[in-house]
Amino acid sequence: MRVPVVLTLVGIVLAVACSAAQAAEPPPIKIGEISSYSALPVGTHGYRQGWELARDEINGKGGVLGRKLEIIARDDAGKPDVAITAAGQLVDGEQVDLLTGTILSHIGLAVADFARQKQKFFLASQPLTDALIWEKGNRYTFRLRPSTYTQAAILAKEAAKFPARRWATIAPNYEFGQAAVASFKRELKRLKPDVEFVSEQWPPLGKIDAGAVVQAMMAENPDAIFNATFGADLAKLVREGSTRNAFTNRAVVSILSGEPEYLAPLKDEAPPGWVVTGYPWSEIKTPAHDAFLKAYVARFKEPPNIGALIGYTNMLALARAIEQAGSTNADDLIKSMEHLKVDTPVGPVAFRAIDHQSTMGVYIGELAVRDGQGVMTDWRYVDGADYQPADAEVLAKLKN
């Protein structure tokens, strides 16, 4: 008779112990993350390491609302249909509390529409298209990274300082490139009505025929160039253009070209004098950035790129939004994000209620070669809040 009693007591003890353990360890907050890890590794490698660092720092301090953050990542392979399948698996299979991520604009738009249909909160981290927050925006979608409009407007202001009147544009023929050119042209024409655009080159993303693009552009003899190619396309364009002296005695303004992941492969071929947006990670001397830089290098044994900064900041914003909302309910998160302010390695960032765009700023400067490597010089940080469209303009876009 004693054995069953002992077993019963053991069972009770184990049950109490399990209940206590469960009470001490509440379920994690599950975040579904999607990005083009295999299709665009140069833009996502550092990004993943950035959010991993932030996640572990947050969890090391007890998590959010007493719960640890669990990030379930999926690769969209650079294809919208794959991204939608992954989002469905995350929401319906993994039961994630919210969605985040994406880098390519057309995939960001696809996941945003999925979030709208499923009424799931989505913080887009890296896609740049303005349609994400304006023409195709929805109440469930927010965007962290500085918009195409913001970066193009900053570059246009610099471009207006040049005496150049005849401009050429070179951009990948998809959502981001088209939006970048449209925003740049509109803003430059506003600032300098006498300019004209004499050449538009639209190479397919990732498949640029640089020789043909440069030849066609030079045939129109422009005074200056606006470039929106990036990654391997940028490297091919720079090498072909330099060989043909296409950039000699021509002003060039270029979006993204100062970002480490796109600048590093050029090494000493980086084109001096280009006015670019980017991320001069080694020269930013603020306590917040120093702390991020030190932690990142200590863990990953490499310097951060813009993707790493975005990944890290994205997770800080999510954690702050959840904490402020007091829950992971979509409606609560939306209300929280529309009034969110968060401290980041580049300073305070807020989100606009009118269009769900963050005020994260942009570094702008000139390219130079130093010790065999391209670097940004004479750079400055421009607050994104100073380059947002007026509310009336945003409302007009939202109505269309």
Is 305 in contact with 41 (CB distance < 8 Å)? no
- Could you please state the CATH topology (level 3) that the domain comprising 149-283+363-387 is classified under: Rossmann fold (3.40.50)
Q: Where are the domains of the chain?
A: 29-146+284-360, 149-283+363-387
Per-residue confidence (pLDDT) for residue 229, from 0 to 100: 96
The answer to whether domain 29-146+284-360 has CATH 3.40.50.10470 is: no
Tell me the pairing of strands 98-101 and 122-124: parallel
CA–CA gap between residue 250 and residue 248 (Å, rounded): 5
Per-residue confidence (pLDDT) for residue 356, from 0 to 100: 97
| pLDDT tens per residue across all 400 residues of the chain | 444 544 454 455 445 445 544 557 899 999 999 999 999 898 899 999 999 999 999 999 999 999 999 999 999 999 999 999 999 999 999 999 999 999 999 999 999 999 999 999 999 999 999 999 999 999 999 999 998 999 999 999 999 999 999 999 999 998 889 999 999 999 999 999 999 999 999 999 999 999 999 999 999 999 999 999 998 999 999 999 999 999 999 999 999 999 998 999 999 999 999 999 999 999 999 999 999 999 999 999 999 999 999 999 999 999 999 999 999 999 999 999 999 999 999 999 999 999 999 999 999 999 999 999 999 999 999 999 998 888 888 888 886 5
> Whole-angstrom distance between the N-terminal and C-terminal Cα of the chain?
79
CA–CA gap between residue 271 and residue 89 (Å, rounded): 44
CA–CA gap between residue 109 and residue 127 (Å, rounded): 9
Is 91 in contact with 120 (CB distance < 8 Å)? yes
pTM of structure: 0.89
Per-residue confidence (pLDDT) for residue 8, from 0 to 100: 52
Other C-beta atoms lying within 10 Å of the C-beta of residue 290 = 12
In 146-223 the beta strands, taken as DSSP E runs, fall at 166-170, 196-201
Considering only CA atoms, give the Rg of the chain: 24
Q: Is 341 helix (H, G, I), strand (E, B) or coil?
A: strand
Chain centre distance of CA 395: 24
- DSSP calls for 317-334: HHHHHHHHHTS--HHHHH
Per-residue confidence (pLDDT) for residue 251, from 0 to 100: 96
Domains 29-146+284-360 and 149-283+363-387 share a fold: yes
